C-alpha cells in the first residue's frame, strides 16, 4: 500500500464479487481478514496471505504457479528485473 494514495473500501458479499465490474480490486479480503489477495498494479505477481493450510493448498495445486515466501523474504519473482 502507498501512504499518499487514496483508497476506496467496498463491502460485498461473495455472490456480488462474481459480478464485479471490469477489473478486480487490487486487494481482496474477507471481513474477518483471515486471508488477503493482492494484485497491486506495479507488481509482476499476485500475493496471497493466509493460514498455512490455504498457502500449502495453493502451492500444491499443479495449475497454480505458486511459491511460498516467508515474511522476511523478498516476494519479487527471482526472474523479475524490477
In a domain, 44, yes or no: yes
In a domain, 38, yes or no: yes
In a domain, 65, yes or no: yes
Q: How many separate domains does the chain show?
A: 1
Other Cβ atoms less than 10 A from the Cβ of 37: the count is 16
- At 6 the pLDDT is 80
pTM as predicted: 0.66
Average pLDDT over residues 18-32: 80
CA torsion through residues 2, 23, 10, 75, sign: negative
Parent domain of 79:
7-82
In a domain, 80, yes or no: yes
Average pLDDT over residues 31-60: 88
What are the strands, taking DSSP E only, across 1-82? 27-28, 36-38, 47-49
* Mean pLDDT, the chain, whole residue set: 82
In a domain, 2, yes or no: no
* Segment of 9-13, 28-32, 55-59, 64-68 carrying the highest mean pLDDT: 55-59
In a domain, 1, yes or no: no
pLDDT at 52 over 90: yes
Amino acid at each position: 500500500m502507498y501512504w499518499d494514495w487514496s483508497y476506496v473500501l467496498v463491502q460485498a458479499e461473495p455472490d456480488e464479487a462474481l459480478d464485479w465490474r471490469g477489473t478486480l480490486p487490487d486487494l481482496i479480503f474477507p471481513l474477518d481478514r483471515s486471508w488477503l489477495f493482492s494484485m497491486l498494479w506495479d507488481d509482476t505477481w499476485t500475493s496471497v496471505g493466509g493460514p498455512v493450510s490455504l498457502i500449502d493448498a495453493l502451492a500444491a495445486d499443479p495449475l497454480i504457479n505458486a511459491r511460498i515466501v516467508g515474511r522476511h523474504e523478498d516476494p519479487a519473482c527471482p526472474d523479475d528485473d524490477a
